[in-house]
Structure 1
């Protein structure tokens, strides 16, 4: 990973923070993108204290102008990104009929439109990088995009769209040397997502986790680190990570 330049969205916590920390530990220069500067600065401090290189880039993935400004900052400080991990996500679990439309729009704006905005903004850099070095685009989707989960209609639909977008991007970008991976996690120990659940659902999730331990976020980071360190002519297009006993 030495000399690689990575951007990780949703890097303030959970999977994103774990991935950013792992990539930096392996030698990459990592730009951390999320809305909350204070959270990003804590992650960046942990990285730099361990000898890594991190850049804090506060931005809202749902806002094209915010993402464009972030892309300019990253290019100025680091140069062309050759590893993009689209991880930012928002999970709202509630029956469809009970969910305010504003909640559904926000989920789609972050989960799907955010991937479109970030990928579009950084694609020129990825293409330039691919001309001379290994280049990766990884989109963190979800098994919820393949399964029927009551209360997760919009979240699942947005993640299904991310997976389809990723497959199509691979068809378009593979000839240019950009490796594209669709990563679909199952039950992951990203506690901040569960914090948004209704109280009765949090209790159910806690009970489920007691009998079916969730995958630690460090394992997701380890998998991504494996994917992006394969030989340049090897691509892992579709991966699922979930607890061994999760059906």
Structure 2
């Protein structure tokens, strides 16, 4: 086994615990950070059984001084640090008009600022080892709704912050990426479904099934699946993966790219039926330019609607229209250039 060391926050349960156990196969030491020491001790016992050395550090990342203690203890025990995986942080799923300032601040303090402070404090050690940082966001960053506005806003801020860290990391030799999981079945998800079922007057089992139907996904994700993705990001084979926000959500948020350069759209709903191909609009006939002297015309092409041509009807013939058989003209412009 190599001598790499990783810090995993939120390691007492869910994705954090699954990630700690998965990384124990690739790292010599795992630093376990969370608020519940009893749960951390259980995770530590499993890590030791896998052959890695655990270090249990109960800490509340909402407290600014916590990160200094984490880094100092890690350096004292292992003498190095190769990866920081920021998973800790639960943001209340409360409606935009009902959430208080305190709830907003409390959610951001741990998931956003706690992760930010830990990454900054760990940065010198990561520069020495040319290590990696993974920030945990969520797919709500790409599809915010009033019912979980704080979750979406904080997740979006984490994605932006991770890209900023990644930019600095290119200079300092530190790899940085973020992950956007969808509905993973964990204790946190069960708590959400308990509330959701009560609001919709459903049993918990009916609520689980109804949520899948409304999200148009086959099943809930597993913490181990997200852990495998994190393990890959931290592997030598993924070293060129930098500044990327990776969504893993079973297709809850889909991106459908329309042909002919039309705008793609993020969707929570069903994809267009098979065989659906938007018909390109017909080319517009030549139109006189308003406010100009007679003669010049503007020709608009149906495949390049934002591109205009000026020509003279007497001295210069207009360029040919695009067609499937003639995808580009004398300008060298083609739909693939969009």
Compute the TM-score of the two structures, normalised by the length of structure 1: 0.90
Which structure shows the higher helix fraction? 1
Give the secondary structure class of the aligned counterpart of 1:105. Answer: helix
Supply the RMSD in Å over aligned alpha carbons: 2.1
The answer to whether the 8 Å contact 1:33/1:58 transfers is yes
The correspondence of residues 113-152 of structure 1 with structure 2, limited to 5 A, is 113-130=113-130, 135-152=131-148
Greater length-normalized contact order (CA 8 Å, ≥ 6 residues apart): 1
After TM superposition, give the deviation of residue 199 of structure 1 in Å.
2.3
Q: Deviations over 1:64-85 (max 9, x none)?
A: 1112112111110112211110
Aligned to 1:40: 40
Q: Deviations over 1:160-212 (max 9, x none)?
A: 10000001111111122111111111121223244256623575752345554
Structure-2 change in CA distance of 1:145 and 1:208 (3 Å): same
Matched, 1:219 2:225: yes
Instruction: Name which one, 1 or 2, has greater alpha-carbon Rg.
Output: 2
Give the secondary structure class of the aligned counterpart of 2:75. Answer: helix
The correspondence of residues 202-241 of structure 1 with structure 2, limited to 5 A, is 203=204, 206-208=208-210, 211=213, 212-231=218-237, 233-236=239-242, 237-241=244-248
Give the secondary structure class of the aligned counterpart of 1:224. Answer: helix
Aligned to 2:195: 199
Give the secondary structure class of the aligned counterpart of 2:209. Answer: helix
Structure-2 change in CA distance of 1:242 and 1:229 (3 Å): same
Compute the TM-score of the two structures, normalised by the length of structure 2: 0.67
Unaligned runs of 5+ in 1: none
Q: Distance in 1 between matches of 2:196 and 2:247?
A: 28
The answer to whether the 8 Å contact 2:5/2:27 transfers is no
Aligned to 1:50: 50
Aligned to 1:242: 249
Matched, 1:187 2:189: no
After TM superposition, give the deviation of residue 38 of structure 1 in Å.
0.9
Matched, 1:94 2:94: yes
Which 4+ residue blocks in structure 1 deviate beyond 4 angstroms?
201-205
The correspondence of residues 3-18 of structure 1 with structure 2, limited to 5 A, is 3-18=3-18
The answer to whether the 8 Å contact 2:182/2:252 transfers is no
Unaligned runs of 5+ in 2: 199-203, 254-267, 269-338
The answer to whether the 8 Å contact 1:9/1:87 transfers is yes
Q: Distance in 2 between matches of 1:76 and 1:58?
A: 16
Aligned to 1:153: 149
Structure-2 change in CA distance of 1:221 and 1:32 (3 Å): same
The answer to whether the 8 Å contact 2:193/2:207 transfers is no
Q: Distance in 2 between matches of 1:31 and 1:60?
A: 14
